[in-house]
């Protein structure tokens, strides 16, 4: 059989069968452990969701959609569960304030309508 390079440690080896991609069991086990750790890393997954939330709200803001209804929030696929709930300023008494980092969403108690506010603009709260 033709020699190959191990996918883990790049050692050149002669495989025992044509599907073998690692030179030894230790390399196979190390590569498998790395793959499993990547799947279990909750912080990485959370950061990806937070970043995609920011990107989706940013897209709505850039599209000029400063007011969204629940269907629009679902269409933009914004995950409301990953926001911080804050006490809104007095001008929004009786409303809920959801903090998404660079953006705030002000909503009613039924979470049916949302207004987008960006930090550092004339709409800053």
Terminal-residue alpha carbon distance, the chain:
69
CB distance 100 to 83 below 8 Å: yes
Alpha-helical (H) ranges within the chain are: 25-40, 42-62, 70-75
Secondary structure (3-state) at 84 = strand
pTM above 0.75, yes or no: no
pLDDT in tens, 61-111: 999 999 999 999 888 888 888 788 888 888 888 888 998 888 889 988 788
DSSP assigned state of 3: -
């Amino acid at each position: 059989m033709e020699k190959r390079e191990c996918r883990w440690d790049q050692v050149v080896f002669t495989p025992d069968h044509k599907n073998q991609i690692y030179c030894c069991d230790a390399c196979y086990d190390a590569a498998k452990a790395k793959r499993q750790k990547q799947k279990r890393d909750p912080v990485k997954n959370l950061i990806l969701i937070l970043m995609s939330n920011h990107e989706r709200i940013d897209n709505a803001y850039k599209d000029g959609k400063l007011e969204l209804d629940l269907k629009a929030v679902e269409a933009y696929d914004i995950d409301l569960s990953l926001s911080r709930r804050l006490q809104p300023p007095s001008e929004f008494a009786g409303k809920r304030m959801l903090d998404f980092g660079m953006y705030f969403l002000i909503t009613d108690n039924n979470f049916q309508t949302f207004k987008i506010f960006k930090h550092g603009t004339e709409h800053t709260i």
